[in-house]
Amino acid sequence: MRSLRRALLYAAMCRRGKEITMRELLSKCGMNCGRCPSYRENLKSDADRQRCSDGWFRYHGFRITPAKIRPCDGCQARDEDHPVRYLNCYVRKCAVKNGVATCAHCSAYPCEDVATVSLPADIRRKTSERLGSPIPDADYLAFLEPYEGMVHLDALRVTLTPADIAPMKRVSVRPRMATFPDGMPLPAEQRRAMHSLHRILSTIECAVAVSYARQHALKKTRTYLLKLLWAFGMHGNFDPPAGDALSLEGPTFWHRIYPHTFLPCRAA
């Protein structure tokens, strides 16, 4: 209820023209670039960089050293101007391909992908509970509120007319797979097993009539699942208590999926 009242209040402010600057700095996915501490206009000094680094670490749990924090040009900066941005965002690419100013202007809004890059409306309460202390308004407006993308998009959506909403361009996700060869010189049981594996590889994470963002996410998930299948197939062991199942110990799994990372572990 609180988020609904907040959205309606923001929508009313937009209609009165009091938040034009914020609307102009709204990213495709709804984040408020104008309030982000790494936005170019907010990052003028070493003290600004230190505050940004400390705030991100306190409220989001990741640390970027002040020297590595770059002044971001914002999501809506034109690609042809070669702007500085932190993320190669697949949700932004989806909005660009659909020709919409924000995800709120898309007929598929709200979709599952924009939700993954947005903080929930109750993030202040949850973060306060995690830290065990109230969050100052200044910190909330700098380090949490800017990333409540769907709160901003919901408020913007109610101000749009049907003519403002663009139909989502639909794409499909299908791997390039050769047909299964019927004449393989293998025993029938092995041939059936190979055919089952081929069917899995041909259909895993496939979809039709999805968004560009979902296409990207499915392709990424497919890559991971194929690595997972390979790791279990090559290094897994049958686990009799679990029936027809393969098991793989944690360190082996990690190093086979992510071979260039180091995972400290203790011997049993």
Give pLDDT tens digits for 122-157: 999 999 999 999 999 999 999 999 999 999 999 999
Residue 9 pLDDT > 50, yes or no? no
Cα 200-205-211 angle, rounded to 5 deg? 155
**21 confidence band (pLDDT: 50, 70, 90):** very low
- Over residues 262-268, the mean pLDDT reads 36
Q: Please, which residues have CB within 8 angstroms of residue 28's CB and are 6 or more apart in sequence?
A: 75, 76, 89, 91, 92, 95, 96, 100, 101, 102, 103
In angstroms, rounded to a whole number, what is the distance separating the alpha carbons of residues 242 and 168? 44
Across the chain, how many H-helices and E-strands are there? Answer: 11, 4
Widest distance between CA atoms in the chain: 75
**258 confidence band (pLDDT: 50, 70, 90):** low
Task: Return the structure tokens found at 253.
Answer: 């799994």
- The pTM (predicted TM-score) of the whole model is 0.72
Give pLDDT tens digits for 157-213: 999 999 999 999 998 877 777 888 877 788 888 888 888 888 887 887 788 888 888
Task: Return the structure tokens found at 264.
Answer: 């400290």
Task: Return the structure tokens found at 71.
Answer: 């002044």
Give 247's strand partners. 237
pLDDT of residue 167: 94
CA-to-CA separations, 239 to 5, 93, 189, 235, 249, in angstroms, rounded: 54, 44, 21, 13, 12
Residue 34 pLDDT > 60, yes or no? yes
